[in-house]
Structure 1
Amino acid sequence: MTDATTARLDDWAKKQTAAEELIPLVGRLYRENDVLLTLFGRSLLNKSVTGMIKAHRYARHFLGEELDIQITHRIVKALSGLNLAPARIDLGRLIEKLDDPNADVDAFLAAELAEVVQSQSGKGEVRDVVLYGFGRIGRLLARILIDRAGGTGMRLRAIVVRRNGENDIVKRASLLRRDSVHGAFDGSIVVDEENSTIQANGTLIQVIYSNDPSEVDYTAYGINDAIIVDNTGKWRDEEGLSKHLACPGASKVLLTAPGKGDVKNIVFGVNDDAILDTDTIVSAASCTTNAITPVLKAINDKFGVRNGHVETVHSFTNDQNLIDNFHKGSRRGRAAGLNMVLTETGAAKAVAKALPELAGKLSGNAIRVPTPNVSMAILNLNLDNATTVDELNTFLREVSMHSPLRNQVDYVTSPELVSTDLVGSKRAGVVDGLATIVDEDRVVVYVWYDNEFGYSCQVVRCVAKMADVDVPAFP
């Protein structure tokens, strides 16, 4: 074995040791202080040893080189000794400010994080969350909330579904445990059929059976002041969604579909400041609207958008038929796994509800394709100001790293990237820089998005805002 090989193995062993020591520190800060640590937007919570090392390799996209995990370990160890208030702390951006790796870390952190160091650490009130409907989005929301249990100021208390047979709860728990797209649930699930509960890791979930949203008394299960997340899409206007508010123990409703009428459509990161304490019914819009609106906002703010067309290449969904059969919608009755299906989308027009300055400027259409998850939006835009591929891509990359939209917009330049690589993406949309086309003021931007998980992350952000537990981010 050469000296170079030995050195590489020693370096890897040191990284493993640092990662092994980091993992419990990250978890403890989250559980005890509600402090979520990230690395250039990537959460470090519940990472494996190799996942932790990989996150530090990812930092080279921002720093030009791999981030030394031992420096991160020093920072996190020092953080664990502070009395921190709830916050999101980006270690990557924090370390960027540390000019000297050998500097006094305690003094550095005291100066940078003065606002989150308090005399008595304490979490705010924990808000009850109920999932009404337990389909694709409902189960992913459950996974996210369970994964973050112990922090975030939100706790999943119940799911409400229609009973489908005597073994209903067993089947629903099994669907939560195993997923053909997103893989197995990370943890243990225990079903108590007698008490209609599912215990997933440390979270006890009450399963409530009901055929109507106005029939449930949540207080009977010890649930109070709850936010009801309606994943059914059956009711989209204020009148229908108000049925939830008639239930004892329910105080607010979030719809995981485009709202109709006067219901506010929120794309987190773009217009979430429109969520007021007095709002009781809010919509998280659609997955496509969430994917394209942040990118459109960034481009419009920088270059101006005269007009454009949005074409969505979207994975098939449950509202399509597996084989040819009657369907109330045009073309959607044809076999989803065998065909590209041309259909309509309201996402382009829906952008204007979150971004009024683009009202009347965008048209849109959609093609459903035989893949189960991850979609793509093609933004064909005419700009007010001409640009180049390099300028536009550099700008979008900067947006993904340092702008207020960094949790919504990601940027990739992998030459071998395909749709399955984006399964599990936590961003609303991912710009594919290698596909960008520019001809002076005419541009085409390709935006990938995990239409299930990425959207679910946006929904959870909206829930946190409605629950008033959206903690500050530093630096």
Structure 2
Amino acid sequence: MGREALAEAMIPVIGRLYRENNVVTSIHGRSLINKSTMNILKAHRFARRMSKDELLLEETAPLLNSLAELELGAAAIDIARLNQKFKEEGNGATLEEFLRSELADIVGKRGADDRTSTDVVLYGFGRIGRLLARLLIEKAGGGHGLRLRAIVVRRGSDNDLLKRASLLRRDSVHGSFEGTIRVDEEANTITANGVRIQVIYSNDPATIDYTAYGIKDALVVDNTGRWRDAEGLSQHLQSKGVARVLLTAPGKGELKNIVHGINHGTIEDTDKIVSAASCTTNAITPVLKALNDKFGVVHGHVETVHSFTNDQNLIDNFHKGDRRGRSAALNMVITETGAAKAVAKALPELLGKLTGSSIRVPTPDVSLAILNLSLENGTTKDEVNNYLREMSLHSDLRKQIDYIDSPEVVSTDFVGSRRAGIVDGLATVSTDKNLVVYVWYDNEFGYSCQVIRVMEEMAGVNPPAYPAKESAKALAAIAV
């Protein structure tokens, strides 16, 4: 059977695992749910670029078929990593025997999902709010975990509801919504792929009765950026039906700034208000941790080349911030960033070791962080790149760090990346103890994926992930 035919045959198996067993399959973290034949082929091709080993459909197709026969419970399964572990540690066992052993905790449980459901309210429906909505709708298939119940906005016009739905349906950067969207103007609801979202109009976060809409113990995600300290954000907790609050911006004061993959383990049940930090902080902190763990960071400077954002002016006009009043579409604009200092809130060992600045540039999405570091231990470009590639594949930071070494990639190639940051290996510069690393990041979508991970952590709704442990060979590669 040809490669195209194998990939085509995998589609209904992937769909059945998802619908009947709540199993999300992926290749090195890239979901296979609702993907076309060509996208499945591309995912296999991507695996070769990442690991330098061919991922054969002749191996993954029977692996998927075997998974479908095991009546699995809910899980997230990376078939590339599972296949690699089978080849390295199968020890003569058949594929079925290996899978039954590796997935013993969920074999025979047919869709069983021990996770509870958590109601989610998006307070604000701008760039991040709408992307979070897309991600939440995408994850709604199993009916467990995070449930998008409502969005809260200020009414902008008489046809506000239709305009909100249109902005969800069409996006100039991220493309059209994959699915169907219906609007009920009488009920003030938007239904997207079967997910019914109540649209609530309010100017006051403290006076909304969410229980009137059947919402209880909700996680409110504040996307407005209007309130960034505990006092301001605590207004949400005064509304009926709210249990916790997550801010999608750097928090001020004593708020915990969480970068998933780094310090999400510090979230406690008693934390009623948490910040998901900034897009830049999420992009650079995992890479900095990896480099600090391996080589030691003495000090460094972070320069971000950042796409313009809504707080800048389209054409020259008054702005309270320095330089930000000048046209975002025509200029490169030097501005400040707190990302370098914010790293220390998630990674205290780098406190006082980093400085940072930013240049806003005339692109709508995808930014670039340049890490100029002085190291305790000398290294080479190849050593750094091989290490970061392995970290992107086999470490606990693989959901955050991606790696690429193509000589042709540019910023638009990273639109829609689900990783917090992508290391550009060909741009790495190393001269003994001086190191420069370039990290691309989709400052909208990649950051939104990190926010979702923090939400899942706060709600305690992460499905079990397999393989639970890396192969011995993979772990050895990271340690070298």
**Which TM-score band (shorter chain)?**
over 0.9
SS at match of 1:385: strand
CA positional deviation for 1:384: 0.5
Structure 1: gaps of 5 or more residues: 1-10
Q: 1:144 maps to what in 2?
A: 135
Q: 1:228 maps to what in 2?
A: 220
Q: 2:98 maps to what in 1?
A: 108
CA positional deviation for 1:62: 4.7
Aligned residue runs from structure 1 range 234-383, under 5 A: 234-383=226-375
Quick one: distance in 2 between partners of 1:147 and 1:21?
22
CA positional deviation for 1:470: 1.4
Q: 1:469 maps to what in 2?
A: 461
Structure 1, residues 105-139: CA drift from partner, whole Å, max 9, x if none? 22111011112325464222221111110000000
Q: In structure 1, give the amino acid aligned to 2:451.
A: V
Q: In structure 2, give the amino acid aligned to 1:288.
A: T
Q: In structure 2, give the amino acid aligned to 1:296.
A: L
Structure 1, residues 275-295: CA drift from partner, whole Å, max 9, x if none? 112211110000000000000
Q: 1:204 maps to what in 2?
A: 196
SS at match of 1:98: helix
Q: 2:210 maps to what in 1?
A: 218
SS at match of 1:322: coil
| 1:393 pairs with 2:385 | yes
- Taking structure 2 as the reference length, the TM-score comes to 0.94
Q: In structure 2, give the amino acid aligned to 1:244.
A: H
| 1:71 pairs with 2:59 | yes
Root-mean-square deviation over aligned CA pairs = 1.6
Range moving further from structure 2, 55-64 or 97-106: 97-106
Q: 1:410 maps to what in 2?
A: 402
Which of 11, 25, 36 pairs up with 1:48? Answer: 36
**Contact 1:37/1:91 (8 A) holds in 2:** yes
CA positional deviation for 1:149: 1.2
CA positional deviation for 1:404: 0.5
Q: In structure 1, give the amino acid aligned to 2:80.
A: G
Structure 1, residues 275-324: CA drift from partner, whole Å, max 9, x if none? 11221111000000000000000000000000010000000000000010
Which of 49, 71, 85 pairs up with 1:61? Answer: 49
Which of 78, 82, 85 pairs up with 1:94? Answer: 82
**Contact 1:376/1:447 (8 A) holds in 2:** yes
Quick one: distance in 1 between partners of 2:208 and 2:13?
41
Structure 2: gaps of 5 or more residues: 468-480
Residues 85 and 167 (structure 1 numbering): CA distance in 2 closer, same or farther, change over 3 Å?
A: same
**Contact 2:21/2:110 (8 A) holds in 1:** no
Aligned length, in residue pairs: 463
SS at match of 1:441: strand
Q: In structure 2, give the amino acid aligned to 1:92.
A: A
SS at match of 2:130: helix
Quick one: distance in 1 between partners of 2:436 and 2:51?
28
Quick one: distance in 1 between partners of 2:95 and 2:389?
30
Quick one: distance in 1 between partners of 2:29 and 2:110?
27
Quick one: distance in 2 between partners of 1:137 and 1:474?
29
- Taking structure 1 as the reference length, the TM-score comes to 0.95
Q: In structure 2, give the amino acid aligned to 1:178.
A: R
Q: 1:135 maps to what in 2?
A: 126
SS at match of 1:89: strand
Quick one: distance in 2 between partners of 1:193 and 1:390?
58
Q: 1:20 maps to what in 2?
A: 8
Quick one: distance in 2 between partners of 1:305 and 1:285?
22
SS at match of 1:384: strand
CA positional deviation for 1:101: 12
Aligned residue runs from structure 1 range 438-449, under 5 A: 438-449=430-441
Q: 2:70 maps to what in 1?
A: 82
Quick one: distance in 2 between partners of 1:80 and 1:224?
36
| 1:33 pairs with 2:21 | yes
Residues 117 and 307 (structure 1 numbering): CA distance in 2 closer, same or farther, change over 3 Å?
A: same
Q: In structure 2, give the amino acid aligned to 1:69.
A: L
